[in-house]
Structure 1
Amino acid sequence: MPTEITLLGWSTVLLFAHLMLQGQTATRERGLGWNAGPRDGEAAPLGPLAGRAQRALTNFQETWPAFIALALALTITDRTGGIGVVGAATWFVARIAYIPLYLFGIPYVRSLCWLVSILGLLLMLIRLV
């Protein structure tokens, strides 16, 4: 199985990690009753940690579809390997590193990490075209 597809599977685990982190931090701040209830009405604003977890999840969701498309396209066109796999691994590692950088509020390095993940996607695209 191509490494790009293996990383695609692991990226789904990373999505679940983001979802669990965001859900747990929001529940800690808003309470179990809010989480278990219908969530009608206006929700209490998120504090710093839950807000960062939400924004990190949203940011992941913005680049994840491109990763999915590129990993599948590389596999379907039999262009896996080379700089494509380097790009996929770069994207994946950068997305893992992004989480604690965002949660701890580390500026600039977090932005650089995001830029590295985009570079990974570009490497995958270069391999594809």
Structure 2
Amino acid sequence: MVFWITIVLALIAVQILLPLILDSKGTMGARLTNAMGPRDHCPEESVVAQRSRRGLANLLETLPIFLTLALLAIILHKDVANAILGAQIYVIARVIYVPAYLSGVPVVRTLIWGASAVGLVIMARAILG
């Protein structure tokens, strides 16, 4: 389980950097300079960079649930195989979710998000049941 927690934390690090990397409007220098000040007038981000920020926000919404379930699975030692299966489904779906969200394909990203939610449900059932 610790492996899957580590992968999720690495995914967060990647998603935090993605808006800077994907900002194709050539404003990275201005953005970095602006970050050193009060950020009163931020340059506009590209559409893909904006999607990247929304994808990160979406990950951060489900992260507390995942981490809570993962830590409970470690502490309680309940149905470890299914808890790990749920964690695998969640993490893999979240990794696939990033390019799906960036590409702007609405139905596909929603299905992938649903798969990650199923992973969380499997983890919860493993712990509670």
| TM-score, normalised by the number of residues in structure 1 | 0.88
Question: Deviation of residue 26 (structure 1)?
Answer: 4.3
The answer to whether 1:79 aligns with 2:78 is yes
Give the secondary structure class of the aligned counterpart of 1:108: helix
Counterparts of residues 13-28 of structure 1 (less than 5 Å): 13-26=10-23
The answer to whether 1:55 aligns with 2:51 is no
Give CA deviations for 1:8-55 in whole Å, capped at 9, x if unaligned: 011111111111112323485533132133252132333211111100
| Larger RCO, structure (CA 8 Å, separation 6 or more) | 1
C-alpha distance in 1 between matches for 2:41 and 2:15: 24
Residue in 2 aligned with 1:123?
A: 122
Residue in 2 aligned with 1:46?
A: 45
The answer to whether 1:10 aligns with 2:7 is yes
- Contact persistence 1:29–1:50 (CA under 8 A): no
Size of the alignment, in residue pairs?
A: 126
Q: Percent identity?
A: 26
C-alpha distance in 1 between matches for 2:45 and 2:30: 15
**Residues 59 and 94 of structure 1: is their aligned pair in 2 closer, same or farther, counting only changes over 3 Å?**
same
Give the secondary structure class of the aligned counterpart of 1:38: coil
**Residues 110 and 76 of structure 1: is their aligned pair in 2 closer, same or farther, counting only changes over 3 Å?**
same
Residue in 1 aligned with 2:113?
A: 114
Structure 1 segments (4+ residues) deviating >6 Å: none
Amino acid at match of 1:98: Y
